[in-house]
Amino acid sequence: MAQQDFPKAQRIIYLISHYIDGSIDFTELQELDSWRKEKPSNENLFQELIDKESQSGAIREMQRYDTKGSLEKIKLTIEKNKAKGKVIPFIWQKLLAVACFTILIGVMLFFYNGHKANYTIVTNLKPHPQYIPPGSNKAILTLADGTQINIDAGTKGIIATQEGTQIQSTVNGQLIYSKNSRLESNAIIGYNTIETPKAGRYKVQLPDGTNVWLNSASSLHYPIAFNGNTRDVELNGEAYFEVAKDKHKPFTVTSAGQKVTVLGTHFNINAYKDEAKINTTLLEGSVRVISGDKQALLKPGEQSAINDNNIQISKADIHLATAWKDGQMAFVHTDLKSVLRQISRWYNIDVEYVGKVPDISISGDASMDADLSVMLKMLSFYNVHFVQQERKLIITN
């Protein structure tokens, strides 16, 4: 075996160990797949190392296996044959097997000693990483008659006309309603609903000129025209609003557990059902937040949090609350479950936990244009242990 092949063996050791603990990214997975396809002996070794029985055997052999001595013997053999100018076939495979089993023992010991109650579950987990792209501009529009239209970044032009109001989709991910000034004041107004799936987001300009950015897994229910004395919409999930000013027609957003009323302002509402609190963050103007028999008036730079009909007002971190609108995930001492909920929505993955949820907080920004592997590297940096099984992320800390 030529001397220059040993760095390759070390690289394969690295890739297999990352495959075993589930932290391998898509590029590394492609590299490992190429090596496996080079020859049958590579694939045989790979299958042996990821086999559950081999892993269990590695633990049993740990106490009596002289890893250091074996590596020294291999090293001595290599040096002797180098001096004689000989090449020993498959010697790097032996080195690879020994070193990989050493890594494997360490991985298994971590699970066995630190998580005895979950040992059977964890050792049964096998990583199946796949490339998962970021979300994109896409949504489902439901018209007043129940017709559903799938819209995405490639949808362009007028997609529907209702009661004289035209609905146009632009290539940059925006839905625009043209105002129908001829609509009679007593006309029956139909309602539309725009819904973003997981891994989707979209912007809609309502008939009054109000702009709404919808985050992933969110929906907005609104009239085709604001023909009365108020402008009322319903939100599920998260949205950022830039409300067109109209002092004669207050704009009201109803979401789970609260109502927000404004005349014209910029604000963000996070009202996901799987979040503990409903957060409303004010950037400009003023908003009145109502929950049950309680209400509060927010000033720019403030945030309200509603939990069990209690309203708490605090100074807002504007960037943290609105970064998603500008294509960033922002975290400031954010607990792991909250981080993973955001990742789950944007990449359309499921998250499961084995055992106790680790007490880990994360800080930093990440581009929402990056694929999932970038987020997984961030989790690894914070010592979050996981196994990726296609679109499922299993946290094993």
Question: Which of 261, 253, 264 is closest to 218 using CA atoms?
Answer: 253
**Cα(150)–Cα(144) distance, integer angstroms:** 15
* Residue owning tokens 């359309």: 348
Radius of gyration of the chain (CA): 28
Number of domains, the chain:
3
**Cα(363)–Cα(336) distance, integer angstroms:** 10
**Would you say residue 113 has pLDDT above 50?**
no
Are 218 and 195 spatial neighbours (Cβ–Cβ below 8 Å)? yes
Are 203 and 184 spatial neighbours (Cβ–Cβ below 8 Å)? no
Tell whether 264 and 179 lie within a shared domain: yes
pLDDT in tens, 276-304: 999 999 999 999 999 998 999 999 999 99
pLDDT in tens, 143-161: 999 999 999 878 889 999 8
**Cα(154)–Cα(136) distance, integer angstroms:** 11
Per-residue confidence (pLDDT) for residue 383, from 0 to 100: 86
Tell whether 271 and 348 lie within a shared domain: no
Is residue 200, in this structure, part of any structural domain at all? yes
Is residue 129, in this structure, part of any structural domain at all? no
Question: Which of 204, 195, 140 is closest to 172 using CA atoms?
Answer: 204
Tell whether 338 and 365 lie within a shared domain: yes
**Residue 284: which region, alpha, beta or left (left: phi > 0; alpha: psi -120 to 50)?**
beta
Q: Report residue 141: phi and psi, to 5°.
A: -100, 125
Is residue 192, in this structure, part of any structural domain at all? yes
Running DSSP on this structure, what letter comes out for residue 219?
Answer: E
Q: How confident is the model at residue 193 (pLDDT cuts 50, 70, 90)?
A: very high
Residues paired with residue 319 on neighbouring β-strands, in sequence order: none
List the CATH number of the domain containing 263.
Answer: 2.60.120.1440
Q: How many other β-carbons are positioned within 10 Å of the β-carbon of residue 93?
A: 16
Tell whether 235 and 267 lie within a shared domain: yes
Is residue 131, in this structure, part of any structural domain at all? no
Per-residue confidence (pLDDT) for residue 117, from 0 to 100: 42
Are 151 and 159 spatial neighbours (Cβ–Cβ below 8 Å)? yes
Is residue 205, in this structure, part of any structural domain at all? yes
**Would you say residue 82 has pLDDT above 60?**
yes
Q: How far is CA 106 from CA 57, 67, 129, 381, in A?
A: 13, 12, 22, 19
Write down which residue in 74, 99, 124 finishes a domain.
Answer: 124
**Would you say residue 119 has pLDDT above 90?**
no
- In percent, how much of the chain has pLDDT > 70? 75
Tell whether 366 and 249 lie within a shared domain: no
For residue 205, give every residue at least 6 positions away whose Cβ sits within 8 Å of its Cβ, in sequence order, or none. Answer: 174, 175, 176, 177, 211, 212
Of residues 84 and 388, more confidently modeled: 388
List the CATH number of the domain containing 349.
Answer: 3.55.50.30
Is residue 266, in this structure, part of any structural domain at all? yes
Tell whether 298 and 154 lie within a shared domain: yes
Burial per residue of 325-364, b for 16 or more beta-carbon CB atoms within 10 angstroms, e otherwise:
beeebbbeebebeebbbbbbbbbbbebebbeeebebebee
Tell whether 9 and 66 lie within a shared domain: yes
Is residue 250, in this structure, part of any structural domain at all? yes
**Would you say residue 112 has pLDDT above 60?**
no
**Would you say residue 142 has pLDDT above 70?**
yes
Tell whether 207 and 317 lie within a shared domain: yes
Tell whether 26 and 10 lie within a shared domain: yes
For residue 373, give every residue at least 6 positions away whose Cβ sits within 8 Å of its Cβ, in sequence order, or none. Answer: 25, 26, 27, 131, 132
Mean pLDDT of 351-365: 90
Write down which residue in 274, 295, 322 finishes a domain.
Answer: 322
User: Of 79-93, 114-128, 273-287, which has the strongest mean pLDDT?
Assistant: 273-287
Write down which residue in 99, 124, 149 finishes a domain.
Answer: 124
Tell whether 291 and 165 lie within a shared domain: yes
What 3-state DSSP class applies to 121? helix
Q: How far is CA 34 from CA 27, 28, 29, 40, in A?
A: 11, 10, 9, 12
pLDDT in tens, 210-240: 999 999 999 999 999 888 889 999 999 999 9
Is residue 234, in this structure, part of any structural domain at all? yes
Mean pLDDT across the chain? 82
Tell whether 155 and 260 lie within a shared domain: yes
**Cα(12)–Cα(96) distance, integer angstroms:** 8
C-alpha dihedral sign at 178, 182, 185, 187 = negative
DSSP 145-187: TS-EEEEETT--EEEEEETTEEEEEETTTEEEEPP-TT--TTP
Whether the model clears a pTM of 0.85, i.e. scores above it, the answer is no
Residues paired with residue 259 on neighbouring β-strands, in sequence order: 254, 290
Domain containing 26 equals 3-124
Tell whether 165 and 299 lie within a shared domain: yes
